[in-house]
């Protein structure tokens, strides 16, 4: 099979999976533990970024971010910008400095969620002066980051398996 | 590292970041109309979210029977106690009668105001990062929904539409600090402002503030919309009042208002697209 064709199929597969996880994230209420649910698309974007080059990671981060902006009601572009930067850093770090394993995927996802959460808390709650806004950080943002970090290995192994499969197809 | 900051890729990243920033500013200026990206994602995802939401609810109901058995038992016990309390409360005939009239008023909203127009909608999505129970419904501008339309259930006020796409709308609930709703206690006629707070949203409640320190509102009194400002129709039930407490500054008092249903789990809603007196004022 031609290399370009395999590459197109690979990215189409990634996008379809991202979309399915996006749907699951916004509708699967039974995954909730004390009102906390995982943000699958962040874990997914992190997993893809660890396998792909920085340019593709950037594009994927933007798409995932815009999807998250839509579902969370945040200003369109906010999560897209955050995920774009995080995905580039993750891709470069995995390429040059850090091993490509599930523990590092959890660390990257945790850091991405905490960074996004802190910016979210700063721009959407703290600067508006809502009383007891620290409760949002403790009750929602950090537990959501933790829950998302815990489910990250599942997506990491899924994406790594898909990536290796497509790579072997390209080499044939 | 220095080479990276001098590379063409880094310059591309900076340009894309600047574009995203510009896009954010543009989106904010649109005042509730969904941005292009939101419209695209909304149009693609709405039908699938509806299907997925149905599957999720079915799965939740099925597994919930087993997972929540203990919870159901406790709820059953709690409901039995509540029934016993309600039997005692029946002695307070006047209070029950007044609440009954309030409920009738909501149920008869359409009969009292023939101009009222409502659209039924289903909740199709709730994001994990949303803190105040905001949700997405499966109806949008194609169904006549506009920004600031009131959202209710048969039991009372849910919130207001804050973003509209062609086939979806975003609803901000009364638990959010962003909303300020003109409210009154019909029995005493006292008026105040209902708004959400971070702490009370944890308890599925909101706050009725700006009451006088000599307020006569009692625990259990029904709080309804005042209709002032023309955003919300008059007489829609918001919830039941708690005990009156004085604010820290000592000039006014407030009370907790608990909706009679769980705002964070509503599945079916009605959007009031028109009513007598709509937009006759400047309240937000």
Q: Which residue has the higher pLDDT, B33 or B151?
A: B151
What integer pLDDT is reported at residue A1 of this predicted model?
A: 61
| Residue B45 confidence (pLDDT) above 70 | no
What integer pLDDT is reported at residue B95 of this predicted model?
A: 55
* Residues whose CB is less than 8 angstroms from the CB of residue A158 and which lie 6 or more positions away in sequence, other chains included: A17, A47
Percent of chain B with pLDDT over 90: 8
CA distance A46 to A39: 11
Per mean pLDDT, which range of A4-18, A29-43, A127-141, B59-73 is the poorest? B59-73
Task: Cite the beta strand spans of B86-211 per DSSP E.
Answer: 117-125, 135-137, 150-153, 156-164, 169-173, 180-185, 190-195, 206-211
Q: What residue spans of chain B are helical by DSSP H?
A: 2-6, 8-29, 36-67, 69-89, 93-107, 109-112, 198-201
- Among A82-86, B78-82, B100-104, B232-236, top mean pLDDT goes to A82-86
DSSP assignment letter at A74: P
Instruction: Determine, for residues B41 and A67 on separate chains, whether the beta-carbon distance falls below 8 Å.
Output: yes
Per mean pLDDT, which range of B70-84, B99-113, B155-169, B182-196 is the poorest? B99-113
Please check whether residue B263 is in contact with residue B133, taking contact to mean a CB–CB distance below 8 angstroms.
Answer: yes
DSSP assignment letter at A128: G
Count CA atoms closer than 13 A to B131's CA, side-chain side. Answer: 29
User: Cα–Cα distances in Å, from B120 out to A68, A126, B25, B42, B268?
Assistant: 26, 35, 33, 19, 7
Which of B24, B128, B131 minimises the CB distance to A39? B128
pLDDT digits (tens, 9 = 90+) for B130-156: 888 899 998 888 888 988 899 998 888
| Residue A139 confidence (pLDDT) above 60 | yes
Q: Do domains B70-173+265-274 and B180-261 have the same CATH topology?
A: yes
CA distance B245 to B63: 42
User: What are phi and psi for residue A143, nearest 5 degrees?
Assistant: -65, -35
Instruction: Determine, for residues A77 and B264 on separate chains, whether the beta-carbon distance falls below 8 Å.
Output: no
What integer pLDDT is reported at residue A39 of this predicted model?
A: 92
* Residues whose CB is less than 8 angstroms from the CB of residue B102 and which lie 6 or more positions away in sequence, other chains included: B186, B222, B224, B235, B237
CA distance B100 to B92: 13
| Residue B221 confidence (pLDDT) above 80 | yes
pLDDT digits (tens, 9 = 90+) for B173-220: 999 988 888 898 878 888 899 998 888 888 889 999 888 888 888 888
Percent of chain A with pLDDT over 90: 56
Count CA atoms closer than 13 A to B36's CA, side-chain side. Answer: 4
| Residue B267 confidence (pLDDT) above 80 | yes
CA distance B145 to B136: 13
Q: 111-150 in A: which are within 8 Å (CB) of B?
A: 120, 125, 128, 130-133, 135-136, 139-141, 144
The superfamily CATH assigns to domain B180-261 is Rod shape-determining protein MreC, domain 2 (2.40.10.350)
CA distance B195 to A120: 21
Instruction: Determine, for residues A140 and B129 on separate chains, whether the beta-carbon distance falls below 8 Å.
Output: yes
What integer pLDDT is reported at residue B228 of this predicted model?
A: 79
| Residue B105 confidence (pLDDT) above 60 | no
Which of A19, A92, A144 minimises the CB distance to B129? A144
CA distance B193 to A106: 45
Q: What residue spans of B90-202 are helical by DSSP H?
A: 93-107, 109-112, 198-201
Q: Which residue has the higher pLDDT, B91 or B197?
A: B197
Q: Of A78, A16, A84, which Cα lies nearest the Cα of A55?
A: A84
Q: In chain B, what are the domain boundaries?
A: 70-173+265-274, 180-261
Pick the CATH number of B70-173+265-274 from 2.40.50.140, 3.90.1170.50, 2.40.10.340, 3.40.50.300: 2.40.10.340
| Residue A71 confidence (pLDDT) above 60 | yes
What integer pLDDT is reported at residue B281 of this predicted model?
A: 60
User: In a 3-state reduction of DSSP, which class is residue B117?
Assistant: strand
Instruction: Say whether residue B103 is in contact with chain A using an 8 A CB cutoff.
Output: no
Per mean pLDDT, which range of A50-59, B97-106, B158-167 is the poorest? B97-106
Mean pLDDT throughout A54-77?
88
Please check whether residue B147 is in contact with residue B170, taking contact to mean a CB–CB distance below 8 angstroms.
Answer: no
Q: 159-198 in B: which are within 8 Å (CB) of A?
A: 162-163, 170, 172, 177, 197-198
Q: How many contacts does A have with B, using Cβ atoms within 8 A? A: 132
What integer pLDDT is reported at residue B139 of this predicted model?
A: 87
- Among A155-169, B103-117, B223-237, top mean pLDDT goes to A155-169
What integer pLDDT is reported at residue B67 of this predicted model?
A: 67
| Residue B230 confidence (pLDDT) above 50 | yes
Mean per-residue pLDDT over chain A, rounded: 89
User: In a 3-state reduction of DSSP, which class is residue A132?
Assistant: coil
* Residues whose CB is less than 8 angstroms from the CB of residue A10 and which lie 6 or more positions away in sequence, other chains included: A162, A163, A166
Per mean pLDDT, which range of A51-55, B244-248, B270-274 is the poorest? B244-248
Supply the DSSP string of A37-57, one letter for each residue.
---HHHHHHHHHHHHS-HHHH
What integer pLDDT is reported at residue B284 of this predicted model?
A: 42
Which of B24, B38, B56 minimises the CB distance to A30? B56
CA distance A39 to A149: 9
Which of A77, A120, A130 minimises the CB distance to B177? A130
Mean per-residue pLDDT over chain B, rounded: 80
Which of B45, B60, B198 minimises the CB distance to A23? B45
Instruction: Determine, for residues B24 and A78 on separate chains, whether the beta-carbon distance falls below 8 Å.
Output: yes
Contact list in A for residue B127 (CB cut-off 8 A) is 25-26, 68, 71-73
């Amino acid at each position: 099979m031609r290399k370009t064709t395999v590459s197109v199929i690979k990215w189409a597969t990634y996008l379809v999976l991202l979309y399915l996880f996006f749907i699951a994230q916004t509708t699967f209420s039974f995954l909730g533990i004390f009102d906390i649910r995982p943000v699958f698309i962040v874990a997914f974007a992190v997993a893809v970024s660890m396998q792909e080059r920085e340019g593709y990671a950037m594009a994927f981060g933007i798409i995932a971010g815009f999807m998250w902006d839509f579902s969370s009601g945040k200003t369109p572009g906010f999560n897209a910008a955050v995920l774009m930067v995080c995905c580039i850093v993750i891709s470069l770090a995995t390429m040059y400095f850090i091993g490509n394993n599930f523990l590092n995927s959890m660390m990257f996802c945790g850091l991405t969620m905490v960074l996004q959460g802190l910016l979210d808390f700063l721009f959407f709650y703290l600067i508006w002066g809502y009383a007891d806004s620290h409760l949002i950080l403790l009750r929602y943002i950090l537990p959501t980051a933790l829950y998302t970090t815990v489910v990250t290995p599942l997506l990491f192994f899924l994406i790594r398996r898909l990536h290796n499969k497509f790579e072997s197809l390209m080499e044939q | 590292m220095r080479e990276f900051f001098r590379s063409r890729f880094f310059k591309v990243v900076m340009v894309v970041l600047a574009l995203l920033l510009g896009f954010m500013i543009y989106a904010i200026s649109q005042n509730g109309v969904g941005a292009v990206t939101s419209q695209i994602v909304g149009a693609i995802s709405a039908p699938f979210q509806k299907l997925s939401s149905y599957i999720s609810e079915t799965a939740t109901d099925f597994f919930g029977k087993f997972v929540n058995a203990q919870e159901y038992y406790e709820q059953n016990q709690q409901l039995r106690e509540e029934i016993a309390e309600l039997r005692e409360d029946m002695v307070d005939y006047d209070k029950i009668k007044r609440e009954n009239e309030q409920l009738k008023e909501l149920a008869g909203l359409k009969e009292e105001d023939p101009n009222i127009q409502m659209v039924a909608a289903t909740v199709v999505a709730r994001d994990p990062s949303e803190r105040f129970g905001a949700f997405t419904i499966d109806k949008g501008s194609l169904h006549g929904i506009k920004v600031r339309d009131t959202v209710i259930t048969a039991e009372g006020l849910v919130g207001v539409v804050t973003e509209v796409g062609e086939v979806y709308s975003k609803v901000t609930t009364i638990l959010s600090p962003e909303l300020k709703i003109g409210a009154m206690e019909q029995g005493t006629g006292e008026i105040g402002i209902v708004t959400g707070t971070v702490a009370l949203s944890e308890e599925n409640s909101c706050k009725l503030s700006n009451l006088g320190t000599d307020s006569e509102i009692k625990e259990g009194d029904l709080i309804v919309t005042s209709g002032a400002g023309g955003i919300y129709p008059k007489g829609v039930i918001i919830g039941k009042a708690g005990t009156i407490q004085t604010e820290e500054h000592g000039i006014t008092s407030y009370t907790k208002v608990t909706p009679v249903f769980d705002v964070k789990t509503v599945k079916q809603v009605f959007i009031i697209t028109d009513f007598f007196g709509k937009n006759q004022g400047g309240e937000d």
